[in-house]
Chains A and B, each alone.
Chain A
Amino acid sequence: MSTVAGEMDHHDHHHHAPSGITRWLFTTNHKDIGSMYLWFSFIMFLVGGSMAMVIRAELFQPGLQLVEPHFFNQMTTVHGLIMVFGAVMPAFTGLANWMVPMMIGAPDMALPRMNNWSFWILPFAFAILLGSLFMEGGGPAFGWTFYAPLSTTYSSDSTALFVFSVHIMGISSIMGAINVIVTIMNMRAPGMTYMKMPLFVWTWFITAFLLIAVMPVLAGAVTMVLTDKYFGTSFFDAAGGGDPVLFQHIFWFFGHPEVYIMILPSFGIISAIIPAFSRKKLFGYSSMVYATAAIAGLSFIVWAHHMFTTGMPVAAEIFFMYATMLISVPTGVKVFNWVATMWRGSITFETPMLFALAFVILFTIGGFSGLMLAITPVDFQYHDTYFVVAHFHYVLVTGAIFSIMAAAYYWLPKWTGHMYNETLAKWHFWTSLISVNVLFFPMHFAGLAGMPRRIPDYSLQFADINQIVSIGGFAFGLSQLIFLAVVIKCVRGGEKAPAKPWEGAEGLEWTVPSPAPYHTFETPPEVK
């Protein structure tokens, strides 16, 4: 990256930027660390994606063709873990690293050394997780939700490695979150009041609090799994006075806010991109902030909607059904605000906007199926079927991941100083859009017709649907290689990007040159 020029005007007498690998190992620069997070997350996206390809290849036809059921379970488990903790979360942390300081007019993140550490422990966490696949007995095979006692008494010995790797991922996330909060609270430029912050900053601010609240709960859950398995405790074992359902309560008390951790920053990204390409201010800024806070607050009281079939008292089922349905109100407000932003704007359709529009429609479809899943009596039928798989892939792939793609295209000119290749990018968009729907839409039907999730083989009535889904899966996987090509081309060269390449874009990040100099806002800008 051509950041040397920026470094030259930086009069730092006791500091000489190292070059080669040590630059990346020792860096405390938010832009370097942001880039590393983003590349790491893309690599993990491909690794987790290739596991999805194994799953889809096995499910292409009924019968067992390619892998054993035990290995199939390892693929579904590690695919989920990698995509959640390795692809989506680090991508958002990478974006926060790059953009939050530049959006609030700060020179860097508040805690740069911790920033370095929170990134560099991640490769070790995933090396441990992936390495466990090669152990005797294989890696984790109990689903990414690792329900006890399947993950305790009945799991293979690699469970200890799984536990340690999740611990490291958790530590990394908590440090990242602390850094975001401290930066936002202390390093805003003069005049940048809370209610003037861009929504991406706001949504990440709230997300960071969610992370700090729930990652320790996950750490507690994995530790209890560890001691149940290896040290004779009985947290989740009825024979010793424990309760396997307790595990699910603890896991989902982490798990549901976690779901919003993976979507709130998306809301911030979309709230930046839609106004930019509609050339019109975001509609209802303050209601967007309140809606985000409302979603975050509600996320703590809906966890048991993942557990309607576990045999809860009917009063609890009613409570969790109502609370879950309520979430659609603030989420709806967000969608309505985006549509109102577009209304009577002056819209153009560059790739970031295309991904943002696809996000709004497809995420909303995921929201509809989420609302259906909230209705307890019907959830008894949907639960643990492909309907659920369709639902969470709509919110995570066409939701979170599409928003990350949108963000990457939107800010690539700022990061690299070059415009990306718009034709190639549009190919990426259209192939992704079509294939992702061929991949996930028919899953709704498979689930409604009664296909359970996490099975390596299925009865014959699901054969056609699965074949279509697999074709969509392979096509979506291949489409992402176009993205890789676009990014590499853009890093290497291309049309020179101006400071503000998008006519309607707003925010401090567009006031600095492209590529953004190695150090920005050493003197804080004045925000009016």
Chain B
Amino acid sequence: MSTRLITALLASIPLAASAQSQLNLTQGVTEISQRVYDLHMTIFYICCVIGVIVFGAMFVSMILHRKSKGHKPATFHENVKVEILWTAIPFLILVGMAIPATKTLFAMEDTSEAEVTVLVTGSQWKWHYKYFDSDVEYYSLLATRQDQINNRLDKGENYLLEVDRPLVIPTDTKVRFLVTSDDVIHSWWVPDFAVKKDANPGFINEAWTKVDEPGIYRGQCAELCGKDHGFMPVVVIAKEPAEYEAWINEQEAIAKAEKEEEQRLLSMSMSKDELMELGERVYLGSCAACHQPSGEGIPGVFPSLKGTNMVMNDKAGHINIVVNGKSGTAMQAFGNQLSLRELAAVITYERNAWGNDTGDLIQAADVNEFLNK
């Protein structure tokens, strides 16, 4: 038993050594993250020194003062001076640790004078980013394919740490994050910025960063938020300020064009094939996490859409719940998450997939009626 264990352990050592896995806290790419790293190392070294002294004394005692060596026990059992000493010395060490920690903490909590502000909203299980100073907002979803998670495809380099639309921020600029949530508590975390802030529903938290290096920085949701907690990564791209400006202007233009397109769509109809094809894509991206790819949901947790009354008979109710959500449940309002086209397509898909076959075609105009209710 133990030889097998040792063999297994030995076998795993070269494995660990060969992989380029990081074993320590990141130093990150901001002044704050560097200070946090330095604090971490300082405290770690202090603990190591204390450990060496205490465990050293223990081992000396275990080696020298054993009965098998004929060591006779001493009789001392108290000493007030020693007790005072080993109360006072640790206390002084703590004071020494508390001073730099307090300074860093004050710096981290000072969100004043930010130049760019982004509202970060968590919802099961994606992040939404809204830029305060420009008309740009979007959802950021996990981009790793389900087939990779289920081991049917090889996993990519950034497995579970990739999203469809990363957050983009400028470098050398103080960026303030306002963090909140639509449903349960999430936590927005980017290790390279040393920023981790809980997203509490109904409340707004503040954090900030000032990134030195352009690059792609990856993090994850850090607070258990339900079934797919492990599948809502954070990806932030830091660009040079000029590039960032160009990007945000482009995004604004795209957003404007999309809105105009939406209005035009209201008077058009899409064919069933078009609706079903787009609908399936949207369904797998936004709905399947709960209602499952089979439409059957998870009994007792997420309702089935297969052959159920609302999907088969209640067209208005169906559009309404998709657009406006159902309060007090995990069903979100998708009206502000998806375009009219996508909403129409996904509702059509749900009403015709998995043998539902109602034959109903929902168009953008049908959805629009419910959007402003």
Interface flag for B256 (CB, 8 Å)? no
- Cβ contact of A465, chosen from B21, B76, B82, B160, cutoff 8 A: B21
Interface flag for A179 (CB, 8 Å)? no
Interface flag for A28 (CB, 8 Å)? no
Docked CA distance A357–B50 (Å): 17
Q: What is the chain A residue whose CB lies nearest that of B64?
A: A344
Interface flag for A54 (CB, 8 Å)? no
Interface flag for B300 (CB, 8 Å)? yes
Interface flag for A411 (CB, 8 Å)? no
Contact A380–B98 (Cβ < 8 Å): no
9 other A-B residue contacts (CB within 8 Å) besides A384-B187, A431-B1: A70-B227, A70-B301, A137-B300, A311-B198, A364-B55, A384-B224, A448-B23, A460-B159, A467-B15
Interface flag for A124 (CB, 8 Å)? no
Interface flag for A280 (CB, 8 Å)? yes
State the interface size on chain A (CB cutoff 8 A): 111
Interface flag for A156 (CB, 8 Å)? yes
B101 / chain A contacts, CB cutoff of 8 Å: 321, 375-378
- Cβ contact of B298, chosen from A70, A347, A360, A376, cutoff 8 A: A70
Interface flag for B19 (CB, 8 Å)? yes
Q: What is the chain A residue whose CB lies nearest that of B101?
A: A375
Docked CA distance A176–B259 (Å): 66
Please, could you name 10 A-B residue pairs with CB atoms under 8 Å apart, sorted by A? A64-B151, A69-B229, A142-B226, A153-B184, A328-B94, A445-B21, A448-B23, A449-B24, A452-B220, A453-B224
Interface flag for A62 (CB, 8 Å)? yes
B157 / chain A contacts, CB cutoff of 8 Å: 460
A65 / chain B contacts, CB cutoff of 8 Å: 151
Interface flag for B307 (CB, 8 Å)? no
B361 to chain A, nearest CB (A): 33
Interface flag for A522 (CB, 8 Å)? no
Which of the segments B202-210, B339-347, B364-372 contacts the partner chain? B202-210
Docked CA distance A345–B40 (Å): 37
Interface flag for B254 (CB, 8 Å)? no
| A contacts, CB < 8 Å to B | 62-65, 69-70, 73, 135-138, 141-143, 147, 149-150, 153-154, 156-157, 237-239, 243-245, 278-287, 309-311, 314, 317-318, 321-322, 325-326, 328-329, 332-333, 335-336, 339-349, 357, 360-361, 364-365, 368, 371-372, 375-378, 380-381, 383-385, 427, 430-431, 434-435, 438, 445, 448-450, 452-465, 467-468, 471, 475, 478, 504
| B contacts, CB < 8 Å to A | 1-2, 5, 8-9, 12, 15-16, 19-26, 35-36, 39-40, 43-44, 47, 50-51, 54-55, 57-58, 61-62, 65-68, 71-79, 82-83, 86-87, 90-91, 94, 97-98, 101-102, 104-106, 108-109, 124, 148-151, 155, 157-161, 179, 183-185, 187, 189, 191, 194-198, 200-203, 205-206, 219-231, 298-301, 327-330
A340 / chain B contacts, CB cutoff of 8 Å: 82
A372 / chain B contacts, CB cutoff of 8 Å: 40, 43-44, 47
In the complex with contacts A345-B73, A365-B51, A372-B44, A454-B330 CB distance below 8 A? no
Contact B77–A245 (Cβ < 8 Å): no
Contact B201–A149 (Cβ < 8 Å): yes
- Cβ contact of A137, chosen from B5, B184, B225, B298, cutoff 8 A: B298
Docked CA distance A339–B299 (Å): 56
- Interface residue SS majority, chain A: helix
In the complex with contacts A345-B73, A384-B223, A457-B231 CB distance below 8 A? yes
Docked CA distance A61–B228 (Å): 18
Contact B229–A455 (Cβ < 8 Å): yes
Counting from the closest, the 3 A-B pairs by CB-CB distance are A238-B202, A137-B300, A455-B230
Contact B8–A471 (Cβ < 8 Å): yes
Docked CA distance A485–B341 (Å): 66
Docked CA distance A463–B21 (Å): 9
In the complex with contacts A285-B77, A461-B21, A69-B105 CB distance below 8 A? no
Contact B67–A348 (Cβ < 8 Å): yes
In the complex with contacts A371-B47, A455-B230, A431-B184 CB distance below 8 A? no
A81 to chain B, nearest CB (A): 14
- Cβ contact of B35, chosen from A150, A364, A377, A504, cutoff 8 A: A377
B51 / chain A contacts, CB cutoff of 8 Å: 364-365, 368
A134 to chain B, nearest CB (A): 11
A434 / chain B contacts, CB cutoff of 8 Å: 2, 5
In the complex with contacts A329-B87, A376-B101, A143-B183 CB distance below 8 A? no
A154 / chain B contacts, CB cutoff of 8 Å: 124, 183-184, 226, 329-330
- Cβ contact of B159, chosen from A62, A157, A332, A448, cutoff 8 A: A62
Contact B25–A381 (Cβ < 8 Å): yes
A376 / chain B contacts, CB cutoff of 8 Å: 101, 105
Contact A458–B90 (Cβ < 8 Å): no
Contact B105–A135 (Cβ < 8 Å): no
